[in-house]
Each structure stands twice: as structure tokens, then as C-alpha cells.
């Protein structure tokens, strides 16, 4: 998703990246601050206020995301990266929480830190006027505005639609009540889509009926993004469930039922598992170095096995090697599955029933 991001720094092994779209947000913040204070303090001071406000605001968003990341790490969940982008920040994790309570705390700690930042900026604002004899007034205004923005950040993120933090809090609650995480994910994603649509509709309405066009278009864009991200979450959850309910054996059967999607499995007699090489896709590959997946494992395990530059996976049936399958063929079968094709049997068949 964030291919145009550059790495800024690493915090406890987590890459912090800046997406190129962040430039738009940074420019918007500088511009908004400068316009707001130019009449009162002159253009130079106003632009300096804008630049300082932009740096401190982005630092606030980063603090919010770092809070999510550190809490996740603390609860044993690997964090892939933090990305700051036009709509704020995103913390990407390798896995999801295994308990509703973990999910709740990881989600809630972000808005909590934003509220805390709001309080700190507000407090600093009240003493800045006394501490700074020269630029006390602009500093006070700047800090108070940052306090308000952080409170706004916390409140907006608590809107109960995934993928916003509030949506994840809702999801943790639904998960705890229903005992079914997948259903909780989809319900909170649907709420997120509805809220995104409502927000976008409101933004569009204001843009068409009032002079506050830029702010309204911003609301429209954020609503649209929320709608898209919530839909993405819904689709990912559906796919996740499909992967978990489908065995590798069933995927192979699907390949045989749809001749266009055949799996050129390398037969076991052609394999020399103990030896160093086997022929995969026309090239000689060491089969002993290939990841191994059993036919009764789920599709998730197979897809995960292709991670880390492994284009092929050694399939076993009850410990016995049955063949090597290449990623592109699995991808083709997954495409079939997503289009609604169902293998005749999703339960394991007798050994020998598969090539
Ligand atoms: Zn957050």
C-alpha cells in the first residue's frame, strides 16, 4: 500500500516511514497556521509558527502511532512498520491480537496518548506567555492550537468505525461479546464504511453549499478514505476466513477440477528429498531447503510458506513428500476460490487420493 514511503528512523526495530503524500498534509498545516496568524503577527512570524506547528503536529501523530506499536510489542505482537501519510498515521502489525483485551488496549492507547499530548500542549500554552518575554503570545497561541488539534485527533480516532481506533475498540467489544473475531471484524468494518460514507456525504454537502470549500473537501477525502479502508478490512477478513477453512488438499483438488488451473506438481519419485536438488519450474532447486507444508494444513500456512523469497513449497502427506508446488499455480487457484469456486471436499480425503 505504501510503496512511495521513505524510512525516517527505527524505533525498537520498527521502521518509521514517511509516505510522499505527507507533503500535502505538511503544506496544508503550514498554510493553515500561517493564514491564521499572519494578520496578527506578520508573515515571517506566522510562517515560523506554521513550520513549528507542522513539526510538532507530525510529532504528535508519530507519538500516537508509537504508542500503538510499543503496546503491541509489549503484548507480543510483531510490528512491521509505522507510516505517516496524508491522512495521519498507520501502524502495520504482522499478526492480530489473540485476545479481545489486547486488541482493546492496543487500539485505545493511541487516542489516550493524543489526549495526553493535548494536555501537555495546553499546559505549556498557559505558561508560555509568562516564560517567554519576547514571543510569548505567538507561542501561547501555537501551543493552544496544537492542544486543540491533539484533542481533535483523539476524538476523531475514537469514531467507532474500523479501521479507526474507535472501530478497533468496538471490534474488541463485539469480539468479547460474540466470541467470534471474524464476525466482529466484519461488523466493525461495515460500521466504518457507513461512517465513511456519511462523512464523505457531509463533506460534499458542505462543499456545495458553503464557502468553506477546502475544509469540506478535506472531510470528503477523509470520509472516502475511511470508506475504502473499511471495505479493504472487510475483504481481508473474508479472505482470511476462506484461507483458514480451506485445506491445501482441497486447493489441489480444485486445480484438478478446473483443468485451466492444473497444478504441475513435481511427482515424489522425481524428488530427491535427502539429496541436494530437484527440478522446479525448469530450474534446479534444492528441495531440502524448501519450506514444507502438509496437505492437511490450511491455505494460510501454504501462503505464508511462500514468504521470504520461496517460489516453491514441498508438499507432504502425513510426513511423506508428495510433490513441489509453485506459487503462481497457488495464486491461480486462490483467484478461482475468490471468484466463488468451491472444492468438492473441504475435508481431508484419504491419502493417495491426491497426486
Ligand atoms: Zn490510532
Asked whether residue 179 is assigned to any structural domain, the reply reads: no
Residue 230 lies inside a defined structural domain of this protein: no
Burial call 303-319: b when 16+ CB within 10 Å, e when fewer: bebbeeeeebbbbbbee
Residue 256 CB neighbour total at 10 angstroms: 14
Instruction: Indicate the pLDDT class of residue 309, thresholds 50, 70 and 90.
Output: low
Spacing, Cα 196 to ligand 1 middle (Å): 16
Coil, helix or strand at residue 325: strand
CB 89 within 8 A of CB 83: yes
Residue 8 has pLDDT above 70, yes or no: yes
User: Residue 67 — very low, low, confident or very high, per pLDDT cuts 50/70/90?
Assistant: very high
- 287 Cα to the center of ligand 1, angstroms: 44
How far apart, in whole angstroms, are the C-alpha atoms of residue 306 and residue 326? 9
- What is the reported pLDDT for 254? 73
274 falls in which pLDDT band (50, 70, 90)? very low
pLDDT at 346: 43
| Average pLDDT for 45-60 | 90
Q: Measured in angstroms, how far is the CA atom of residue 117 from the centroid of ligand 1? A: 14
Domain match, 152 and 36 both: yes
Distance (angstroms) between ligand 1 centre and the Cα of 244 equals: 28
Q: Which of 101, 135, 158 is the last residue of a domain?
A: 158
Which domain, by its residues, includes 303? 250-338
- Tell me whether residue 216 is in a domain: no
CB atoms within 10 A of CB 236: 12
Per-residue pLDDT band for 345 (boundaries 50, 70, 90) equals very low
In which band, very low, low, confident or very high, does the pLDDT at 350 lie, cut at 50, 70 and 90?
very low
- Give me the sign of the Cα torsion angle 310, 311, 316, 320: negative
pLDDT for 272 equals 47
214 belongs to a structural domain: no
Comparing 174 with 2, the larger pLDDT belongs to: 174
Does residue 296 form part of some domain? yes
Same domain, 10 and 154: yes
- Report the 3 state secondary structure along 117-179: HHHHHHHHHHHHHHHCCCCHHHHHHHHHHHHHHHHHHHHHHCCCCCCCHHHHHHHHHHHHHHC
d(CA 175, CA 245): 19
Domain end call among 133, 158, 183: 158
pLDDT at 258: 65
Residue 352 pLDDT > 60, yes or no? no
Distance 109 CA to ligand 1 centre (A): 8
Mean pLDDT for 194-200 is: 93
Report the relative pairing of strands 79-85 and 14-19 from DSSP bridges: parallel
Give the pLDDT of residue 282: 47
Same domain flag for 143 and 266: no
Q: Which residues are catalytic?
A: 65
Quickly state the pLDDT bin for 2 (edges 50, 70, 90). low
Distance 272 CA to ligand 1 centre (A): 51
- The helix, strand and coil proportions of the chain, stated in percent and rounded to the nearest 5, come to 60, 15, 25
Identify whether 144 is part of a domain: yes
Residue-wise pLDDT tens digits, 317-333 = 887 777 777 777 777 77
Q: Are residues 42 and 149 in the same domain?
A: yes
Tell me how many domains the chain contains.
2
Expressed in angstroms and rounded, the spacing between residue 22 Cα and the centre of ligand 1 is 17
Question: Is 332 a member of any domain?
Answer: yes
Average pLDDT (44-56) is: 88
- Distance (angstroms) between ligand 1 centre and the Cα of 50 equals 24
pLDDT of residue 275: 42
Lookup: cell for 290: 524448501
65 pLDDT more than 90: yes
Q: Across the chain, what does the average pLDDT equal?
A: 80
Give me the sheet containing 88-93, strands edge to edge.
5-11, 14-19, 79-85, 88-93
Average pLDDT for 206-219: 82
Q: pLDDT tier at 273 (50, 70, 90 boundaries)? A: very low
More confident residue, 336 or 143: 143
pLDDT, tens digit, 9 for 90 and up, residues 106-140 = 999 999 999 999 999 999 888 877 777 777 677 88
Among 91-105, 110-124, 281-295, the range of highest mean pLDDT? 110-124
pLDDT tens for each residue of 224-269: 988 998 898 888 888 888 888 888 888 777 766 665 555 556 554 4
Q: Give me the mean pLDDT over the 143-167 stretch.
A: 89
Amino acid at each position: 500500500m505504501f510503496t512511495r514511503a521513505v524510512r525516517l528512523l527505527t524505533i525498537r526495530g520498527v521502521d518509521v516511514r514517511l509516505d510522499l503524500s505527507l507533503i500535502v498534509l505538511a503544506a496544508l498545516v503550514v498554510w493553515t497556521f500561517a493564514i491564521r496568524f499572519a494578520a496578527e503577527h506578520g508573515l515571517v512570524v506566522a510562517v515560523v509558527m506554521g513550520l513549528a506547528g507542522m513539526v510538532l503536529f507530525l510529532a504528535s501523530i508519530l507519538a500516537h502511532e508509537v504508542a500503538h506499536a510499543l503496546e503491541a510489542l509489549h503484548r507480543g505482537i510483531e510490528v512491521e512498520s509505522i507510516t505517516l501519510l496524508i491522512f495521519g498515521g498507520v501502524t502495520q502489525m504482522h499478526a492480530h491480537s489473540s485476545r479481545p483485551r489486547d486488541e482493546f488496549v492496543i487500539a485505545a492507547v493511541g487516542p489516550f496518548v493524543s489526549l495526553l499530548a493535548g494536555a501537555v500542549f495546553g499546559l505549556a500554552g498557559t505558561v508560555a506567555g509568562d516564560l517567554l518575554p519576547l514571543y510569548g503570545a505567538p507561542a501561547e497561541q501555537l501551543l493552544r492550537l496544537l492542544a486543540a488539534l491533539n484533542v481533535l485527533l483523539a476524538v476523531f480516532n475514537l469514531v467507532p468505525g474500523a479501521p479507526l481506533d474507535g472501530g478497533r475498540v468496538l471490534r474488541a467489544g463485539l469480539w468479547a461479546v460474540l466470541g467470534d473475531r471474524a464476525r466482529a471484524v466484519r461488523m466493525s468494518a461495515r460500521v466504518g464504511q457507513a461512517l465513511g460514507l456519511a462523512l464523505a456525504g457531509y463533506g460534499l454537502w458542505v462543499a456545495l453549499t458553503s464557502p468553506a470549500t477546502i475544509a469540506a473537501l478535506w472531510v470528503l477525502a477523509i470520509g472516502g478514505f475511511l470508506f475504502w479502508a473499511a471495505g479493504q478490512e472487510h475483504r481481508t477478513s473474508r479472505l482470511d476466513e476462506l484461507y483458514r477453512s480451506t485445506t491445501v488438499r482441497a486447493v489441489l483438488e480444485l486445480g484438478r477440477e478446473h483443468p485451466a488451473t492444473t497444478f504441475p506438481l513435481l511427482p515424489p519419485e522425481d524428488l530427491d528429498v535427502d539429496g541436494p536438488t530437484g527440478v522446479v519450474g525448469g530450474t534446479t532447486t534444492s528441495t531440502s531447503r524448501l519450506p514444507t507444508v502438509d496437505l492437511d494444513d490450511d491455505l494460510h500456512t501454504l501462503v505464508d510458506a511462500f514468504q521470504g523469497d520461496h517460489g516453491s513449497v514441498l508438499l507432504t502427506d502425513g510426513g511423506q513428500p508428495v510433490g513441489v508446488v509453485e506459487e503462481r499455480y497457488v495464486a491461480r487457484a486462490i483467484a478461482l476460490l475468490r471468484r466463488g469456486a468451491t472444492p468438492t471436499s473441504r475435508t481431508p480425503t484419504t491419502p493417495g487420493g491426491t497426486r
